[in-house]
Amino acid sequence: MILESETAEALRRAGKRAAYHLAMAGIEGLKALSAVLDELARVGQEDSPDEPRQRINVE
C-alpha cells in the first residue's frame, strides 16, 4: 500500500520532470525558430531586384 507521503513525493518528482522537459522543449523550439529566421534572412540577401520571384509549393 502506498502512503500519502510517498504519493505526494512521486507527484512532486513527476512534476519536476515534466517542467524540465517542457523547458527543454521550449529551448529547442527557440533554437529552431532562430535557425528559420537566420535562413529567411539569408534568402532575402541572396535575392536580387532583377530576378522575378518564384512560387514555392509546400505540401
Residue 50 covered by a domain: no
Grid-cell match 505526494, residue found: 8
pLDDT tens-digit readout, 23-53: 999 999 999 999 999 988 888 666 556 667 7
pLDDT of residue 21: 98
Residue 4: which domain range?
1-44
Residue 52 covered by a domain: no
In this structure, the chain runs to a length of 59
Residue 15 covered by a domain: yes
Cα dihedral sign, 29-33-38-39: positive
pLDDT tens-digit readout, 4-30: 899 999 999 999 999 999 999 999 999
Residue 53 covered by a domain: no
- How many structural domains does the chain have? 1
> In 30-44, which positions are buried (b, 16+ CB within 10 angstroms) versus exposed (e)?
eeeeeeeeeeeeeee
Residue 24 covered by a domain: yes
